[in-house]
């Protein structure tokens, strides 16, 4: 069946380094992708999105890359800070009703 | 500031009890959603609603029902709670924009069924 998955369950990075969080998706009909961040004790929050007609999109300290050939999505965080420690979810949107399918989540841990 | 409010952050219930989880949003969004979140499984969609009195099953609707009597309120109901429904429940809303999927989440309701 169709699925959205993350390559690794945890990622540990040194403060100040760049982080790369990867995500694989399998639904070729998905036309929109979103990254969410969930801090401990809170609900997920939108970080950045990208449409399938784009390869790259940049935000503040974050960049999302989309490789449709291999159905791969990544989130890059520049100069990772302690406040970036959280669980990160990729999600794909399919259909006119915008149904989201979430990946399982990856925990980013920032070492001081 | 947009806000999705879940009435209870923590609940402890006994097997067989009826459980109501309430969610209210103040953004006038058409769409509302209930997810459950479990370690290693991510977020799974239980039910969603695109309009008042309208509901659709998500991926795991068994054991749950919902109610959308008013646009701002979406309730999740466990008719007879079971231990396998111990989980974090997340409510979300989104504006009616076809092709986009940004959701605004509440802070979650952690339910323990004994």
**Would you state the pLDDT for residue B1?**
67
> How many Å apart are CA B21 and CA B110, to the nearest integer?
10
A–B interface: beta-carbon pairs under 8 A:
63
HEC string of chain A?
CCCEEECCCEEEEECCCCEEEEEEECCCCCCEEEEEEECCCCCCEEEEEEECCCCEEECCCEEEEEECCCCEEEEEECCCCHHHCEEEEEEEEECCCCEEEECCCEEEEEEC
B96 pLDDT above the threshold of 70: no
Task: Give exposure, A57-67, as e/b (b: 16+ Cβ within 10 Å).
Answer: eeeeebbbbbe
B8 pLDDT above the threshold of 60: yes
- Chain A residues near residue B40 by CB distance under 8 angstroms: 9, 104
Query: pLDDT digit string (tens) for B28-46?
Result: 998 899 999 998 888 999 9
B110 pLDDT above the threshold of 80: yes
Topology of domain B4-113, per CATH? Answer: Immunoglobulin-like (2.60.40)
Indicate the DSSP class of residue B40: T
Identify which of A43, A46, A105 has the shortest CB distance to residue B42. A105
Query: pLDDT digit string (tens) for A50-93?
Result: 999 999 999 999 999 999 999 999 999 999 999 999 999 999 88
Average pLDDT over residues B46-70: 93
Total of domains in chain A: 1
Owning domain of residue A38: 4-111
For the domain that residue A60 is a member of, what is the CATH number? Answer: 2.60.40.10
Percent of chain A scoring above 70 in pLDDT: 89
Identify which of B42, B99, B105 has the shortest CB distance to residue A103. B42
B46 in contact with A, Cβ within 8 Å: no
A102/chain B closest Cα distance in angstroms? 6
- Listed by start position, the domains of chain B span 4-113
């Amino acid at each position: 069946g169709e699925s959205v998955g993350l390559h690794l369950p945890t990622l540990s990075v040194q403060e100040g380094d760049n982080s790369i969080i990867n995500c694989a998706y399998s639904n070729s009909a998905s036309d929109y992708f979103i990254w969410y961040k969930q801090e401990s004790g809170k609900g997920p929050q939108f970080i950045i999105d990208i449409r399938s007609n784009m390869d790259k999109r940049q935000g503040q300290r974050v960049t999302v890359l989309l490789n449709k050939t291999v159905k791969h999505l990544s989130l890059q965080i520049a100069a990772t800070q302690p406040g970036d420690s959280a669980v990160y979810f990729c999600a794909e949107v399919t259909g006119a009703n915008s149904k989201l399918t979430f990946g399982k989540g990856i925990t980013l841990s920032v070492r001081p | 500031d947009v806000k999705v409010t879940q009435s209870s952050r923590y609940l402890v219930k006994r097997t067989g009890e009826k459980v109501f989880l309430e969610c209210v949003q103040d953004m006038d969004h058409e769409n509302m959603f209930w997810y459950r979140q479990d370690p290693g499984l991510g977020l799974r969609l239980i039910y969603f609603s695109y309009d008042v009195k309208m509901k659709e099953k998500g991926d795991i609707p068994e054991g749950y029902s919902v109610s959308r009597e008013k646009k701002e309120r979406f309730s999740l109901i466990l008719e007879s709670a079971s231990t396998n429904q111990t989980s974090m429940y997340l409510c979300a809303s989104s504006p009616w924009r076809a092709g986009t999927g940004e959701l605004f989440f509440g802070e979650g309701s952690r339910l323990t069924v004994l």
